[in-house]
Amino acid sequence: MKKLQTTNLFLVLFLCITSLSHAQKFTLGKSKVEVYDFQEITISLSKPFPKLNPFKEVKVVGVFRHESGEESQVHGFCDSQEGTLFKVRFMPTKVGKYSYTVSLAQNNGKKQETKGNFEVNKSARKGVLQIDKENPWHFVFTGTGEHYFWNSTTTYWLLGWKDEKIIEEAIDRLASLGINRMRVAINGRAHGGSRWNEQYVVESEKFTFKLNPWLAEKPDDLDEPKFDVTRFNVPHWQRLDRIVARAREKGIIISIIFYVDGLDHGCDPFKKANMGNEDEMMYYRYAAARYAAYENIMWDIANEYHLFRTTEWGEKMGSYLKSLDPQHLISVHGSSDFPFRKSPWVDVVMYQSWDECGGVDFMMNCKKLQAESGRILPQINEEYGYEGHYSVWGCGATATKLPNARNGLNRSQLAWEICMTGCYQTTGETAEFGTGAGENTGGGWINGRGNAKMTMLNYYKIMKEIFEQTQYWKMQPNHALVNYGNLCLAEVGKQYLVYSRLPRCRVALPRDLTFSVEMINPRTGEKTQLPDCKSSDNGAWQYPKEMNEDWVFVLKKK
């Protein structure tokens, strides 16, 4: 009998030790959080689950309930390579009390969960960027109701920097220049900047073109990294966490791109044969679980998707991502055509159309096509020729080689054209100042680093500030009110924004009204207050002098 009791005691101890070897500790991040910040609940394991892939065979789900009864469900994610740490992130959008249930389930059916409560307080956070329902060509923040003048730049390989201090400095610099959106790729591979005729951006001790979102058998191999698409490379994603957090501090939205140049080398482990399969869907689900709780993100399901994917894939992945994150803006970057105008998952329509081919006429036609679809959405020329990029000017077979064809000034002048249609643009700084070659102080549109010699974004900051001194979201393009060739946005009888490119500038106005008139230099930002205009005289206002450069005039009813 004594021997049997001893045996039973050993059995109990063995079962306890076995259970404790995978002991789970649920930890609530904060008892109180601000609205549009995020709550984070962690699940710590003393040891990983044996023989289980923690990214694919362990499911973590959080259900959050507001005191009003509104309920949200979000996926959690594994945040340690070996599978001993899981997290659930949730962004509350309402002030009040929340309860939650977080569960962790293995694919063998075993499940554990925790319940709790926390409080959400008011904050001054801007909230999530959304379409302005009253003026749907434009954007507004859900938290403050503040309008957002999209002033964006491309920084594809920001994650390629090995020194995070350089990343922080790049974000801070762009914020100081008025940039409020950065395009950042999770996944990309290239042999160097010569891929795009940018010879001064190359692999170096501080920078790599080889981004590895998954574990790879050969992570430094350009063409055959041999990704294990069922296991994510956690440190890579944690660095992106820090980028998004830094950008949030600086008021910048990060547009997360799942693929950049998907045809290049080993960038796309799925290829068309496996596109949209379970493992690729897990890639999108993992990203949504990590970043949907940040207020300052939006999604781009692929850069130039049409080169390596199909429209059917776009519909599937866009719809799936929208189901995972219905709050943040979603789009896809393609070409001068956009086949998803009516797709419910699309919030922003994005094009790539270079030089004059992407200017006034193109953007006005884009708005026309969008209106005809029965659904008004903001229109963006996401790429129209980066500063100093390539040696040709113009579109198609008629393009000619010209020195200095795309410089900072003429890029900003084209940006004015785009924005004077009530649309928006994304630019890119020169990569002439390089990374690892030439003057190693830049990287520009490729990786986001710049220096004091790079002045293009100063022009864009001035443009942004000029628009923001008006209620631009209420104005419509009305170029018939000005001399042919000049451009005008107008809320007729109330406010006018004129971009003058001719020696003369005249604006037709309603009679018997008085307007203040301000003249602004778009190159320097210098402002000159002109005499008030009384339109009762001739039904128009005209600048009395001849001009030899572009100028901006703002007229407001007094």
pLDDT in tens, 222-253: 999 999 999 999 999 999 999 999 999 999 99
pLDDT digits (tens, 9 = 90+) for 247-266: 999 999 999 999 999 998 89
Dihedral over Cα of 211, 215, 106, 40: its sign: negative
pLDDT at residue 77 is higher than 90: yes
- Tokens 């030790």 sit on residue: 17
Q: Are residues 374 and 460 in the same domain?
A: yes
pTM of the predicted protein model? 0.94
> In this model, does residue 196 exceed pLDDT 60?
yes
Whether residue 353 sits in one domain with residue 210: yes
Domain end call among 426, 442, 464? 464
- pLDDT category at 401 given cuts 50, 70, 90 is low
Same domain, 460 and 486: no
Contact (CB, 8 A) for 342 and 373: yes
CATH number for the domain spanning 367: value is 3.20.20.80
Is residue 19 predicted with pLDDT exceeding 60? no
**Does some domain include residue 4?**
no
Q: Tell me the H-state helices in 309-424.
A: 311-324, 360-372, 408-419
- Domain CATH number, residue 45: 2.60.40.10
**Predicted confidence (pLDDT) at residue 302 exceeds the cutoff of 60:** yes
CB atoms within 10 A of CB 221: 14
Q: Quick one: pLDDT band at residue 390, thresholds 50, 70, 90?
A: confident
- Residue 12 placed within a domain: no
- Number of compact structural domains in the chain: 3
My answer on whether 135 and 194 are in the same domain is yes
* 3 state DSSP class of 425: strand
270 and 280 in contact (C-beta within 8 Å)?
yes
- Which of the pair, 20 or 97, is modelled with greater confidence? 97
H/E element, 393: strand 392-393
Determine, yes or no, domain membership for 548: yes
In this structure, are 232 and 259 located in the same domain? yes
Q: Answer whether residue 432 is part of any domain.
A: yes
User: In this predicted structure, what is the pLDDT of residue 305?
Assistant: 96
Q: Where are the beta strands (DSSP E) in 122-203?
A: 129-131, 139-141, 147-148, 151-154, 181-185
User: How confident is the model over 357-374, as a mean pLDDT?
Assistant: 97
- Across the chain, what does the average pLDDT equal? 93
Do residues 236 and 326 both lie within one domain? yes
pLDDT of residue 548: 95
Residue 429 within a domain: yes
Same domain, 447 and 379: yes
Q: % helix / strand / coil in the chain, to the nearest 5?
A: 25, 30, 45
| 358 within 8 A of 393, measured Cβ to Cβ | no
**Residue 470 in domain:** no
Domain membership flag for residue 357: yes
Joined together, the tokens standing for residue 290 give 């990590």
User: Would residue 237 count as lying in a domain?
Assistant: yes
Task: State how far the Cα of 97 lies from the Cα of 120, in Å rounded to an integer.
Answer: 6
Q: What are phi and psi of 345, to 5 degrees?
A: -80, -15
Residues 503-527, mean pLDDT to the nearest whole number: 96
Q: Is the pLDDT of residue 12 over 60?
A: no
362 and 408 in a common domain: yes
Query: Cα(43)–Cα(76) distance, rounded to whole angstroms?
Result: 10
**One domain, residues 139 and 90:** no
The domain containing residue 80 runs over which residues?
22-121
Average pLDDT, stretch 370-391?
A: 94
Q: What is the spatial distance between Cα 233 and Cα 215, in angstroms, rounded to a whole number? A: 5
- Do 381 and 280 lie in one domain? The reply is yes
Higher pLDDT, 195 or 507: 507
